[in-house]
Amino acid sequence: MSHSHSFNRRSWLVRVSAIGIGSVTFQRALAHKAVTTGEITEAMIREAQWIADLELTEDEIKALLKELKAQQENERKLRECALDADVGPASVFTPYFFAENIPASEEPGNSSSAVAPNRSVPLWNRAAIGTMESHVSNRVDWNDESSIAAAGVLEQAEGIRSGKITSKRLTELYLARLKKHDPVLRCVVNLTEERALQQAAKADTELGQGLDRGLLHGIPWGAKDIIAIPPFKTTWGGKPYRDQVRPNMATVVDRLDQAGAVLLGKLSVGTYAWGDVWYDGTTKNPWNVEQGSSGSSAGSSSAVGAGLCTFALGSETLGSIVSPTRRCRVMGLRPSFGRVSRYGCMPLAWSMDKIGPIARHAIDCGIVLSAIHGFDGKDPTAVDRPFAPLKDFSVQGLKIGIVEGQLSESEKIVLEQLKADGAKLVTLAYPTTIPQEALMVGLDVESASMFDSLFRTSQSEEDFGLWGPSFRKSQFVRGIHYVQSMRARTLLIQETEKVLREVDVVLGSDDLLRTNLTGHPSMVVRCGTQELRREKKEGEEDTAIPMAPRTIKLTAKYFSESILVSLGHHLQMALPPEPVLPAMFR
C-alpha cells in the first residue's frame, strides 16, 4: 500500500474542507475531479458546484482556486522539511498551569529558563526514607538466585554494601535470566551486555573506594525500547526501524548512569507504543505465558514480573504503564505530566507522553523517580517540583476517594484494609460535561504527525502495527477541531484537579482516559494474594491452582507521587504480595 501520490482524493478532500467552502458533497465532488486530472481548474470547480447543488460567484471560484493552489504548494514545501523525531511542536502543553498557582519562590528550581538542570531536590536515600526502609531484612537468601532476583532496590543495595553480593554478580545473574527466559517471554530486544558488565565493575570499584552515588549504584535495570541509548538500536517496536540508532542519549538514561545504575538492555514495546505485539513476536505475561503482557510497556512489565531485572522504565500515553503492570502484577508509577523529561524518547503524542518506573516494590518506584525527575533544559514540558519521602505519613485520617461502582474486587479488599487502618472514605464523582472521547483527536493527530513520513511512503500495512486506521482518519481532521479539543482539555484539567483536591488519593475508578488527557499521576500497586483460575483443557490433569499478587490503582492530584508511593508501601506491608515471582521463574 502506498501513500506517496501527489494527488489523491483524500489529500484534495482535506484541502477543500480545510478552506471551509461548500458542503461535504461539494468537497468530495471537487476532490474526485482533482484526482482524475492531477490538477484543479476553474471549470472543475464550476462542475463540482453543480453536482453539489451549490452556487458560487465567479469571484468565489477564482478565490477558491487561488487558495487551493497556494495550500497545495505550502503542503509540498512543508513535506520537504526534515522533521526528525526529536523535533517537537512549538506549542508546549503544561496542564498543571491551569490547575495550580504555586509561587515561584516555592519551587525548588526555575524550570522556565533553559539553564543547567536543577538537581537540588533531595534523592530518596536511606536517611530520607526512614521508617519506610523497615521492609529490608535478612529475608534474602544470598545463596539462592531466585531469592536474589526477587529482591528490591533496598535489599540489593544493602547486600552490595555489606559484601553479600557484588554488582558484577548481580548483573551476571540477571543477564543469565534474561537469556534463559526470553525465548518464552519475548521481552528482550537487545541486551547491552558489555556495557552492563563495564558499569557493574565500575560500581564495585567506586563503592569499594568509598564513592557512593546512592541507592541505585550498581543496581541492574531495563529500558523500554522507545528510549534512545546510542550506539544501541532503538526500534520503537516497528519493523521499518529495527536497525535505527537514535543520535541523542535520553535524559532518563543519562540520569540513571549518573546514579550508578547498570543497564541490562532494551526491552520490547508494542509497535509504536500500542499493544504487546512487536516485529519479533508477542511479549508474554509471566503469570500466564499463554497470554500477552498487554502494552505498550510490554517488555518492561514482563521482565520485572518474572524477576529478570530489578526495575525498568516504561512510558504511558494512554494506559501503557497502568495496563501492563496490572496484567504482569507489578508496580507501575505514571508520574504527573512534566515530572520526567521525555528527551531522547520516542514521541507519540507530545501532549500526553509520560515516562515512569516499573518495579516490584513501591519504595523502588520512589527511588527511581527521585533519580530521573526534573527539568533538563531539553524537554520544554519538564519541570522541577518537590519530590521527597513523607516521613510522617499515616493512613489514619487519610481521605480515600472512590467512585461508586468503579472498584475491582481487589480494590474492595484494599478499601476494607484502609478503613480498618483509620482512613476516611469519601464518595466522589467526576463531572461529565466534557466529552472525553472527542478529545482523543489530540492523540490521533499528534501520532499521525510523528509518523507522517512513514505513512506516506510505506508500501505495507504491516509497517503501521495497529495504527493504520488512526493514521488514515487523522488526515481528515480539521485544524480548528484539534485546537478546540485542546481548549476543552483546559476545562477537563480544571474540573478533574478540583475533584482530586477533595481527597488525598482516589482508589480505583475508570478514569484512565481522563487522567491521561489531564496528565494526573497514577500508581498500580501489587498487594495481597489471589487465585488465578483458568479453565482446564480437555485431557489436562488436575493441578494446584496458581496464586498471584493482586493489583489495584491509585490516583492523586498533580505532583502527589510521594503520597502514592507512601500509600503503596503501606499496602504492601499490610497485605504482602505473594508469591513474589511466578512459579516457572523462581
As annotated, the active-site residues are 224, 296, 320
3-state secondary structure of 381: coil
Instruction: Report in angstroms the alpha-carbon separations of 328 from 182, 273, 301, 381.
Output: 15, 17, 6, 30
Cell numbers given for 559: 505532583
Tell me how far apart the alpha carbons of residues 309 and 300 are, in angstroms, rounded to a whole number.
9
328 and 303 Cβ atoms separated by less than 8 Å: no
Tell me how far apart the alpha carbons of residues 282 and 268 are, in angstroms, rounded to a whole number.
9
Cell 521499518 appears where? Answer: 240
Cell numbers given for 402: 472512590
Cell numbers given for 478: 480539521
189 and 178 Cβ atoms separated by less than 8 Å: no
Neighbours of 207 (CB within 10 A): 19
Look at residues 281, 312, 276, 369 and name the one whose alpha carbon lies nearest to residue 178.
Answer: 312
Rg (CA), the chain: 26
Task: Name the DSSP letter for residue 275.
Answer: S
Cell numbers given for 457: 511512503
328 and 286 Cβ atoms separated by less than 8 Å: yes
Task: Name the DSSP letter for residue 338.
Answer: T
253 and 227 Cβ atoms separated by less than 8 Å: yes
What secondary structure, in 3-state letters, does 85-144 show? CCCCCCCCCCHHHHHCCCCHHHCCCCCCCCCCCCCCCCCCCHHHHHHHHHHCCCCCCCCC
Please, is 172 exposed, middle or buried when counting C-beta atoms within 10 Å of its C-beta (0-12, 13-18, 19+)?
middle
Query: Strands 188-191, 220-224: parallel, antiparallel or unpaired by DSSP?
Result: unpaired
Task: Name the DSSP letter for residue 1.
Answer: -
Cell numbers given for 169: 554478580
**DSSP assignment string, 387-437:** ----TT--STT-EEEE-TT---HHHHHHHHHHHHTTPEEEE------S-GG
Tell me how far apart the alpha carbons of residues 16 and 3 are, in angstroms, rounded to a whole number.
19
Look at residues 502, 493, 349, 478 and name the one whose alpha carbon lies nearest to residue 425.
Answer: 502
46 and 61 Cβ atoms separated by less than 8 Å: yes
Q: What angle do CA 118, 120, 126 make, to 5 degrees?
A: 140
Neighbours of 122 (CB within 10 A): 14
Q: What angle do CA 356, 242, 77 make, to 5 degrees?
A: 90
Instruction: Look at the chain and count its residues.
Output: 586
Tell me how far apart the alpha carbons of residues 222 and 526 are, in angstroms, rounded to a whole number.
20
